[in-house]
């Protein structure tokens, strides 16, 4: 999409981006800014779930202080966060992948008497955004829902966007995107469906993903014996501090794993390359124009 340097309605309009690590990279909103002239603001954190990005790492009733801020503890969304915004963009779900999709009408409850489903989390997040907009007397603010894309694997999860996060459940990123679209439609909120429109898929992960290759060959995905023979065809999850046989310079050596991700044999094709973040920004800018004009 060509940028419009003359800009229009969205020039200098304030847009709050709520999300997880893909938003915390602060890259795709810059493409939206380049296309529309917006002023981006952020409420996001790597690893955030659909609930914690709204209610904070310690929940709505948690105690938040300058000390917790220094520890990068996410605070709950507040009326002050949305009071001057012209648009709020909600983009998440990647960290909820092992979750029942549920159905439209589900609603999560912090008290535990709601539905712990993607549909329930999405409806709760939307309700909380509106609650804050109401308290801020900013009900003319627009909303946009952004779905997950068809991402590749990464060192934290040994499943790509085409496959089930939990076997025999049907819980794929496409299923998640579909329910996100349905919940957005149920709430009369425009939706940017990255899964079905971005072109991010198994053919383009090497281009749009953070890494141009799918594997980190420094680590074996299988538990080996001292001769380097796999003990099973089941892919393992590494545990920090445990030792594993690895191939090094043609030899098999026993190494203590000092890393953190459980699947270090995967390169990162869930997070994006500059081209991938640019593509997401282009799609979001297009969705804003389509829904709300320029």
Rounded to two decimals, the pTM is: 0.94
Give the pLDDT of residue 6. Answer: 78
Sequence ranges of the domains in the chain: 14-212+270-292, 216-265
Give the pLDDT of residue 120. Answer: 98
Which of the listed CATH numbers 3.40.50.300, 3.40.50.1110, 3.40.50.1240, 1.20.140.10 matches domain 14-212+270-292?
Answer: 3.40.50.1110
Give the pLDDT of residue 266. Answer: 98
SS (H, E, C) the chain: CCCCCCCCCCCCCEEEEEECHHHHCCCHHHHHHHHHCCEEEEEECCCCCCCHHHHCCCCCCCCCCHHHHHCCCCCCCCHHHHCCCCEEEEECCHHHCCCCCCCCCCCCCCCCCCCCCHHHHHHHHHHHHHHHHHHCCCCCCEEEEECCCCCCCECCECCCCCCCCCCCCCCCHHHHHHHHHHHHHHCCCCEECHHHHCCCCCCCHHHHECCCCCECCCCCCCCECCCCCECCCCCCCCCCCCEEEEEECCEEEEEECCCCCCCCCECCCCCECHHHHHHHHHHHHHHHHHHHCC
Give the pLDDT of residue 7. Answer: 87
**Mean pLDDT for back-to-back runs of 10 residues, the chain (294 residues):** 72 98 98 98 97 97 96 97 98 98 98 97 98 98 98 98 96 98 98 98 98 97 97 97 97 97 98 98 98 95
């Amino acid at each position: 999409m060509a940028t419009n340097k003359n800009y229009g309605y969205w020039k200098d309009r304030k847009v709050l981006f709520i999300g997880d690590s893909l938003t915390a990279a602060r890259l795709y909103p810059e493409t939206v800014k380049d296309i529309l002239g917006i002023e981006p603001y952020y409420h996001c954190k790597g690893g955030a779930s659909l609930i914690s990005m709204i209610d904070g790492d310690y929940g709505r009733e948690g105690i938040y202080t300058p000390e917790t801020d220094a520890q990068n503890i996410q605070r709950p969304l507040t009326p002050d966060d949305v009071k001057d915004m012209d648009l709020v963009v909600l983009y998440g779900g990647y960290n909820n992948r092992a979750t029942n999709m549920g159905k439209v009408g589900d609603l999560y409850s912090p008290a535990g008497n709601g539905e712990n489903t993607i549909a329930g989390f999405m409806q709760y997040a939307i309700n909380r955004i509106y609650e804050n907009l109401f308290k801020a007397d900013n009900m003319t603010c627009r909303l946009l829902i952004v779905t997950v894309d068809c991402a590749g694997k990464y060192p934290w999860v040994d499943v790509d966007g085409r496959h089930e996060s939990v076997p025999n459940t049907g819980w794929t990123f496409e299923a998640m995107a579909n329910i996100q679209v349905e919940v957005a439609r149920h709430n009369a909120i425009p939706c940017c469906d990255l899964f079905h429109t971005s072109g991010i898929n198994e053919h383009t992960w090497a281009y749009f993903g953070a890494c141009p290759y799918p594997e980190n060959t420094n680590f074996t995905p299988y538990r080996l014996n001292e001769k380097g023979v796999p003990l099973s065809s089941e892919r393992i999850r590494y545990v920090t501090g445990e030792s594993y046989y690895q191939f090094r310079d043609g030899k098999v050596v026993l190494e203590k794993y000092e890393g953190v991700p459980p699947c270090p044999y995967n390169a990162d094709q869930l997070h994006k390359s500059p081209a991938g973040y640019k593509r997401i920004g282009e799609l979001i800018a297009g969705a804003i124009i389509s829904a709300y004009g320029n």
